[in-house]
Amino acid sequence: MRAKSLIAAVGLFLVLGALLAWTASAQPGEPVALNVNLEADPPTMDPALASDSVSHAVIEQLFIGLVDWDEATGEFRPELASSWSVSPDSSLYTFTLRSDVYWTDGHRVTAGDVRYGILRTLDPATQSDTAHPLFIIRNAEAYKNGAIADPNQVGVTALDDTHLRVALEHPSSYALAILSLWMARPMPQWAIEAWGDAWTDPSHIVTNPGWSVHRHRGRRPRARLWGAA
């Protein structure tokens, strides 16, 4: 039995090796497809509404986050944010965003898109079941629960297109972990306002996959496999 498992594992690695070799040799702009068995259709591709592992897996590939968790080192590394600074009391984070990340419809991803995504998750009208991790942000819980109605009182501010400030309720060593999660991803306000609940339909959806960071550099998309244990 172990021998069969070993053979299967070796076969999988050979397939992946061939795929990665082919990907590396592909010409810039040439589409690369990787078919992955998710075992079920994702119930949603809306980052504000996802509450299951299949949806999370798909959203992780379609929407880039401020930071990304490095599985090898356990540290958080830049993704949409190129750098960030933290106030001396660890209650205020200021992110500098890349200027070379684009939505699939050609819009540049901005700090305003991140702010909109966070506020949309917290908006009571969205009815997100997974907004609670964002309660570390100043006034986020009060806004979600309807105690305050003005989103400008929530501690997330787009200073300009490439600078985002996040004020916390209290110093939190795990703030980057929270801000790397799916419910804190940038979201396309114009598409959501145009299509409502149908904005994630295949004919309408606008995303900003991680490979779009390098779309003008001729680099290939990253790939992750998601499957059963």
- Whether the pLDDT of residue 217 is over 80: the answer is no
Would 3 be classed as within a structural domain?
no
Would 101 be classed as within a structural domain?
yes
How distant, in Å, are the alpha carbons of 2, 27, 32, 36, 127 from that of 24? 33, 8, 10, 19, 42
- Whether the pLDDT of residue 10 is over 60: the answer is no
- Number of domains into which the chain is organized: 1
Would 16 be classed as within a structural domain?
no
- Report pLDDT for 71: 84
Average pLDDT over residues 83-105: 96
- Whether the pLDDT of residue 64 is over 90: the answer is yes
Would 20 be classed as within a structural domain?
no
pTM of the entire predicted model: 0.79
What is the DSSP pairing of strand 163-167 with strand 156-160? antiparallel
- Whether the pLDDT of residue 131 is over 90: the answer is yes
The residue count of the chain comes to: 229
Would 52 be classed as within a structural domain?
yes
For residue range 191-212, list pLDDT tens digits in order.
999 999 999 999 999 999 865 5
Would 27 be classed as within a structural domain?
no
**How many C-alpha atoms does 143 have within 13 Å on its Cβ side?**
25
Query: What is the span of the domain harbouring residue 184?
Result: 34-214
For residue range 69-89, list pLDDT tens digits in order.
888 898 999 999 999 999 999
Would 221 be classed as within a structural domain?
no
- Report pLDDT for 210: 64
- Report pLDDT for 74: 87
- Report pLDDT for 15: 42
CATH number at residue 162: 3.90.76.10
State residue 10 phi and psi, 5-degree precision: -60, -40
Using the 8-state DSSP alphabet, how is residue 140 labeled?
A: H
C-alpha 137/C-alpha 158 separation (Å) is 14
Average pLDDT over residues 131-142: 98
**Which string of DSSP letters, residue by residue, matches 193-207?**
HHHGGGGGSTTT---
- Whether the pLDDT of residue 105 is over 80: the answer is yes
- Report pLDDT for 8: 42
Would 226 be classed as within a structural domain?
no
